[in-house]
């Protein structure tokens, strides 16, 4: 029983380390993307000053265009107000374009501009590199281990550890 208690503590400690590692890696990814965007800025002759939320919004639009504020907010799990604020900024920087569908003149949709497409391509390239490395990493595990890991990650994402009571799933 003590072994199990120790193992649970080890898992928790590794979980905390993983969170910190993720923060560091996100910072490194932002640096890589920023370098490419700065190169693009030099070529375009304009400064973009994008944060990761801006870049992920561009990516969401690029992956789903045409797309409206409500759909972006749902996909990114942001409020509509946040997406409206980000989209206003991206329109001013000529990274996205407001459009309307021919059969629905009331609803506003977004598409990427040419500059926005370049940012989207840079972001996609970084994600593809990471995904490839991650899948190669997973190849060391058996099918059963992969299925367990999938269940574990699903449960981790569905659980609020700040809540008073943890519901069993």
Can you give the pTM of this predicted structure? 0.73
Helices (H), 45-79: 52-64, 69-76
Distance, CA of 125 to CA of 116 (rounded, Å) = 14
Over residues 39-60, the mean pLDDT reads 83
Q: Which domains does the chain have, with CATH numbers?
A: 48-158 (1.10.10.10)
- Helix 2-44 / helix 52-64 crossing angle, nearest 10 deg: 80
Kindly report the average pLDDT of the chain as a whole number: 88
With 0-12 CB in 10 A as exposed, 13-18 as middle and 19+ as buried, what is 123? buried
Q: How far apart are CA 139 and CA 157, in angstroms?
A: 22
> Mean of the pLDDT values across residues 147-151?
95
């Amino acid at each position: 029983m003590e072994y199990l208690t120790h193992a649970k503590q080890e898992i928790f400690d590794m979980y905390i380390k993983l969170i910190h590692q993720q923060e560091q890696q996100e910072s490194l990814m932002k640096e890589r993307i920023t370098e490419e965007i700065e190169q693009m800025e030099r070529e375009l002759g304009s400064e973009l000053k994008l944060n990761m939320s801006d870049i992920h919004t561009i990516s969401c639009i690029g992956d789903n265009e045409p797309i409206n504020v409500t759909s972006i907010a749902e996909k990114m799990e942001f409020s509509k107000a946040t997406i409206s604020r980000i989209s206003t900024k991206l329109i001013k920087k000529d990274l996205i374009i407001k459009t309307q569908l021919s059969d629905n003149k009331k609803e506003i949709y977004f598409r990427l501009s040419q500059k926005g497409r370049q940012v989207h391509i840079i972001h996609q390239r970084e994600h593809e590199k990471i995904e490839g490395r991650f899948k190669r990493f997973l190849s060391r595990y058996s099918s059963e281990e992969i299925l367990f890991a999938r269940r574990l990650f699903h449960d981790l994402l569905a659980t609020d550890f700040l809540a008073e009571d943890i519901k069993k799933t």
